[in-house]
Amino acid sequence: MGSPDYSAKLVEIEVDRPVWDRFFTVAPLILVGTTDPDGSLDLAPKHMAMPLGWENYFGFACAPGHSTCANIQRSGVFTVSFPRPDQVLYTSLAASPRSARGEKPVLQSYATFPASRVDGRFIEEAYLYFECRHFRTIDGFGPNCLITGKIVAAYAEADFLRVSELDDQELIHDSPILAYLAPGRFARIDRSNKFPFPLDMKK
C-alpha cells in the first residue's frame, strides 16, 4: 500500500488556464492535407492527433476558424502524412502564416504526389500515409473541435512496416520515427523496449 505522504511531493498545477505548457508530453507530428476552394493544396502540421479505437478511425484537434476545418467540412476528405525526423523543418514551415491574400507561398516548394481514393495530396518522403473520409466533427472543446475520419487507404514505406523476420527494435533503430514533445520540442526515436503486458491481456 502506498505512502499517505506521497502527495506531499507533488506540485499542484493551476487549472484556471491550460496546463499543457507546464510539462512535456509525447505526440505524433503529422501534416494534414486539404484542398482550398480554389483547388490549391493546404498543409497543416498537427500534433494532437491519434487513432480513435481499434478500427480504422483517425482524429485530430483543430480550430473551427482554420482553413483545415473549413476545407474538410466542404470537401469531406483529408490526407495525413507522417514526416520522418529529417523533415522536421520542412514540417514546421507548413505552419507559416498566410499572406494578405490568404495564400501560403511556402507550400509551392513542397514536393507532393496525389492520393488515389480521395481528392488530396501527400508530401513526398514521409513514412506513413492515410487517405481519410470525414466521419464527424465534434465541437465544444473550448475554442477547438475534434475532426475525425475513416481511413479508406493507407500506405507506408516498406522499411517502416513490421515483418515477422525482423525484430521490432531493429526496425525502429534502422527506420527511426519523429515525435513531437509538446510544447515546442521534437525527438528522433530510434530505441525502444518491449512493453510488459500482463499475461492474457486482451484489447
Enumerate residues 6+ apart whose C-beta is below 8 A from 3: none
In three-state secondary structure terms, 9 is helix
**Residue closest to 72 by CA, chosen among 116, 121, 122, 132:** 132
Q: Which pTM value belongs to this model?
A: 0.92
Distance between first and last Cα of the chain = 28
Give the pLDDT of the chain (203 residues) as one tens digit per residue: 566 788 889 999 999 999 999 999 999 999 999 999 999 999 999 999 999 999 999 999 999 999 999 999 999 999 999 999 999 988 988 888 776 666 677 777 789 999 999 999 999 999 999 999 999 999 999 999 999 999 999 999 999 999 988 899 999 999 999 999 999 999 999 999 998 989 888 77
Which domain range does residue 126 map to?
A: 25-189
Question: 159 in a domain, yes or no?
Answer: yes
Question: 197 in a domain, yes or no?
Answer: no
Alpha-carbon span 98 to 128, nearest angstrom: 27
Question: 194 in a domain, yes or no?
Answer: no
Distance of CA 123 to the CA centre of its chain: 14
**Residue closest to 31 by CA, chosen among 115, 111, 91, 114:** 91
Distance of CA 78 to the CA centre of its chain: 12
Looking at the 3D structure of the chain, how many domains does it have?
1
Q: What is the CATH number of the domain that holds 154?
A: 2.30.110.10
